[in-house]
Structure 1
């Protein structure tokens, strides 16, 4: 048996688990339930509640009372996988393609805003700006290219705002971000069985959010928010177990891993216009610099035999070939009475990926989202917001291959999702 070929198979199995960490757009929008109701149109110009800490920190100047807002959004996604095929060394690679790989998940959020005086305000936000969960069945036909992916970013943002006058305000807040992740792959080992590879890592890094809010006339507000890029240096462990590990090293392997990742910066621009006492209109656009994530580089250490014989395992780099994206949204709110506001919105969002580089880990395409929402204020100091969104993505193709192992996977993905959000805002 060719020992070098077996070792190369282990190295490639590790590469499968290490390099496609972020194989598509993975930003989350679920930081505000009131904004969710309007399709996130007007997110940087509305300043309706304490969630403006994220939407536009300059909007805190519009809140004249202490406010606490706590909520969550539940996401229920579904995928239909069609026309799937996989080959290993020219032979059909068996497996299933159920498509039920995204478990339901709740995305929490919480905010506090405290006015200090007529100019200054302080705020604190806790939210999730990025996230990813895909967990395929154990018999998934494309397991070699990604079996499980779980990435979570939690951000804490202390914030201050300053109002120059009743027309112009600015806001700024550093962000303290914690990223953690787990990536699993199950690669066929030259017809002898499987090799399972799992990588876990985490890191903490800082960034910032800044915004400006301008109200040129009484009925119209214009907002601009900048969310900075954040550079992470993840450290963790990679483990390999299966037929190859048993043959070459007498059992499972475990070694140190490092991975450098950059989450992109974005600019959010929106306009809020109060048409009359009952109707408010919103428009907005967000530009995200996904091209800042130029490549993924993973370095591994601790297995001298592999690293000495295969230098490629010491430093594994995968080009992403991503492009910057735009998302656009329109929305409206209708005030039924003093206690009840109804909302709706529609948005379109580009994917940074393409048919050539798209992965089974995040097989996403351009999306369209329709939203409904409501805000109910039963008493003056308490508001309950609810929202529903339906997301539909264009059908996309996933075509992955690894010539060194003779592996391919091709399929057509059709994704959709339902989102249910609720939050409670208390003023005191």
Structure 2
């Protein structure tokens, strides 16, 4: 029976969130789905409806009503992407003369922490706090890359502090609402190709802090079935900082870059097929069409267009199963298909987005009635795609990019 959580309990590991985040091979655009280890084990199928631990409120705040005592959670996810580019580049000053532009493993690995707290207020109200990250990107091609005017350095780090409340409207319907404090730090840089001495053309480092919101609803029409819907708003950032250049003195000044983190929605369902087996599924939509271009606005009023992005809205579909082996052990399995947010025309070396398939598995070990540990792993198989990109200096890269990723997560769960 799907009732208020009798699943693994959560232990708070820490409140520090945000890290240099790995390249977007693990999710479309530069989105992060890695909010919980139990969710990772089922490829995040059913996340807006599952209430198996406190990390559930990170996806749908309405799930806070599933807990009848204080629950805390903390964990960390290790993301190891393997992103490669194969191809050549031709310069405007030497057309028809190709230079090697291969680069292997140009996206660094990363550790992404998370923490959650849920406390009932009374029979109908509860509140919670989520500390995690929803977006991140890091690519670095090095100072000896022959196509560094196309792709040199790009990094986006986000931190999300998200208090929320949940209300049990009836025995079958719960509502949730949260407010997000989002801090973002970013670095974007381009340089001359290594064969042209590799001088820095432009580098901008900036940050901003702003607010967003999220909401959700759960509906449980029977003891066996629960449906959840969650929505997270877009977040508008103006990343302000300093710009530097080895070549253009007027670039050495303050500047800013506008960046919109997209809205997203998820519809999920879980169904308890037998006392031991629970099936789950999700459809997730992200409004990536808001990510149109990158342009630096300098303090003196001058603007410098970096590149067109022209992302598309995308969908992610997942199915999973959870099996209670015995009172101590629970196993999870899942598979997901994640659509690319970038059309073939706008693929780039710095964000070489592709369609990808997730293969996930994990387990929970219940140490006692209060303490448990979640472990999960995922392999993401990214499609190899063709890329043709032209820089503002007239350099043309022609080749392919391919990205896989290995993800490993662990969480500790506790209830008081």
Asked if these proteins are the same fold (TM beyond 0.5), I'd say yes
Structure 1 residues 98-117: aligned runs within 5 Å: 98-117=103-122
How many Å separate the matches in 2 of 1:217 and 1:78? 44
Alpha-carbon deviation of 1:91? Answer: 5.7
Q: Deviations over 1:280-302 (max 9, x none)?
A: 00011001111122333321135
Instruction: Please give the secondary structure, in 2, of the residue aligned with 1:144.
Output: coil
Matching of residue 350 in structure 1 with residue 350 in structure 2: no
Matching of residue 371 in structure 1 with residue 371 in structure 2: no
Select which of 374, 386, 399 maps to 1:385: 374
Alpha-carbon deviation of 1:85? Answer: 3.5
Instruction: Please give the secondary structure, in 1, of the residue aligned with 2:135.
Output: strand
Select which of 351, 355, 362 maps to 2:351: 362
How many Å separate the matches in 2 of 1:318 and 1:98? 21
Alpha-carbon deviation of 1:60? Answer: 0.8
User: Relative to structure 1, is the Cα distance of residues 78 and 215 closer, same or farther in structure 2, using a 3 angstrom cutoff?
Assistant: same
Name 1:25's counterpart in structure 2.
29
Q: Deviations over 1:67-117 (max 9, x none)?
A: 110001000111232333433421636455232211110111000001111
Name 1:421's counterpart in structure 2.
409
How many Å separate the matches in 2 of 1:238 and 1:229? 26
Matching of residue 412 in structure 1 with residue 400 in structure 2: yes
User: Relative to structure 1, is the Cα distance of residues 281 and 58 closer, same or farther in structure 2, using a 3 angstrom cutoff?
Assistant: same
181-190 or 162-171: bigger deviation: 181-190
Q: Deviations over 1:148-191 (max 9, x none)?
A: 11101110000100012221101100000001011221124995
Name 1:295's counterpart in structure 2.
293
Matching of residue 174 in structure 1 with residue 162 in structure 2: no
Name 1:331's counterpart in structure 2.
320
Q: Is the 8 A contact 1:95 1:139 kept in 2?
A: no
User: Relative to structure 1, is the Cα distance of residues 353 and 386 closer, same or farther in structure 2, using a 3 angstrom cutoff?
Assistant: same
Name 1:226's counterpart in structure 2.
231
Alpha-carbon deviation of 1:234? Answer: 1.2
Alpha-carbon deviation of 1:259? Answer: 1.1
User: Relative to structure 1, is the Cα distance of residues 279 and 128 closer, same or farther in structure 2, using a 3 angstrom cutoff?
Assistant: same
Instruction: Please give the secondary structure, in 2, of the residue aligned with 1:216.
Output: coil
How many Å separate the matches in 1 of 2:363 and 2:83? 29
Matching of residue 143 in structure 1 with residue 143 in structure 2: no
Select which of 330, 338, 346 maps to 1:341: 330
How many Å separate the matches in 2 of 1:142 and 1:169? 53
Name 1:206's counterpart in structure 2.
211
How many Å separate the matches in 2 of 1:68 and 1:427? 6
Q: Is the 8 A contact 1:45 1:270 kept in 2?
A: yes
How many Å separate the matches in 2 of 1:121 and 1:161? 5
Select which of 31, 39, 51 maps to 1:47: 51
User: Relative to structure 1, is the Cα distance of residues 389 and 216 closer, same or farther in structure 2, using a 3 angstrom cutoff?
Assistant: same
User: Relative to structure 1, is the Cα distance of residues 57 and 192 closer, same or farther in structure 2, using a 3 angstrom cutoff?
Assistant: closer
Alpha-carbon deviation of 1:318? Answer: 4.6
Aligned length: 389
User: Relative to structure 1, is the Cα distance of residues 189 and 30 closer, same or farther in structure 2, using a 3 angstrom cutoff?
Assistant: closer
RMSD: 2.1
Instruction: Please give the secondary structure, in 1, of the residue aligned with 2:64.
Output: helix
How many Å separate the matches in 2 of 1:193 and 1:45? 51
Instruction: Please give the secondary structure, in 2, of the residue aligned with 1:359.
Output: coil
How many Å separate the matches in 2 of 1:329 and 1:232? 30
User: Relative to structure 1, is the Cα distance of residues 277 and 190 closer, same or farther in structure 2, using a 3 angstrom cutoff?
Assistant: closer
Name 2:124's counterpart in structure 1.
119
Q: Is the 8 A contact 1:190 1:405 kept in 2?
A: no
Q: Is the 8 A contact 1:69 1:112 kept in 2?
A: yes
Structure showing greater Rg: 1
Instruction: Please give the secondary structure, in 2, of the residue aligned with 1:356.
Output: helix
Name 1:12's counterpart in structure 2.
none
Name 2:17's counterpart in structure 1.
none
How many Å separate the matches in 2 of 1:108 and 1:193? 35
Unaligned runs of 5+ in 1: 1-20, 308-312
Output the TM-score relative to the length of structure 2: 0.89
User: Relative to structure 1, is the Cα distance of residues 39 and 193 closer, same or farther in structure 2, using a 3 angstrom cutoff?
Assistant: closer
Name 1:260's counterpart in structure 2.
258
User: Relative to structure 1, is the Cα distance of residues 107 and 193 closer, same or farther in structure 2, using a 3 angstrom cutoff?
Assistant: closer
How many Å separate the matches in 2 of 1:124 and 1:192? 50
Name 1:320's counterpart in structure 2.
309
